[in-house]
Amino acid sequence: MRAVVQRVSEAQVSIGGTAVGAIGRGLLILLGVGHGDTEAEAERLWSKISRLRVFEDADGKTNLALSDVGGSVLVVSQFTLFANCKKGNRPSFTEAGAPDEANRLYTWFVERARRDAARVETGRFGADMQVNLVNDGPFTLWLDTDAL
C-alpha cells in the first residue's frame, strides 16, 4: 500500500464540478492499493500516518500529530501510485490491486481513519476526480508499507 501524504490548510475533491469532499487544516492522503495488500498493510499505514508529527508546535517545530491539532483527513484513491515506468513511455498499472479488492481496502482504510480522526472526507473510488489543495509548507511525504 502506498500513500502520498500532504499537510494542507485546505483541500477539496470534486467530480464533474461538484465538491464531494472538503477539509480545512489536516492531511490529504492519496492512497494506492497494490497486489497482495491486506488489512494489515492498511492498519500499519494508517497507524503511521495518524502519528506523524508533521504539524508545528508553538515554537515552529514539527512536533504535533493530527490528533494534537484536531486536523481533518481527505482520502482520495490513487491507483497511479503503482505506475511502473521502466519500459517505454506509457506507464503500466499491472502492480495496482484489482479494482474490487482495492476498493474494499480503500473503504477499510477510510473506516479505520474515522475511528481516530475528527473528520474524514473522501473522493469516490474509480471516479474521474479533480483535487484542489493548498499544501501547507509545502509538506509532502511518500509512504510505502514495504518500507515501514
* Preceding peptide of 138 cis, ω within 30°: yes
41 φ/ψ angles, rounded to the nearest 5 degrees: -65, -40
Side-chain half-sphere exposure of 119, counting CA atoms within 13 A: 16
Indicate if 130 belongs to the active site.
no
Strands 26-32 and 2-15: antiparallel
Ramachandran bin of 70, using left for φ above 0, alpha for ψ from -120 to 50, beta for the remaining angles: left
Extract the C-alpha cell encoding 104. 474494499
Is residue 89 a contact partner of residue 43, using CB atoms and an 8 Å limit?
no
Q: Which of 55, 79, 82, 125 is catalytic?
A: 79
54 φ/ψ angles, rounded to the nearest 5 degrees: -120, 0
Indicate if 38 belongs to the active site.
no
Q: Which of 78, 82, 122, 145 is catalytic?
A: 78
Indicate if 80 belongs to the active site.
yes
Catalytic residues: 78-80
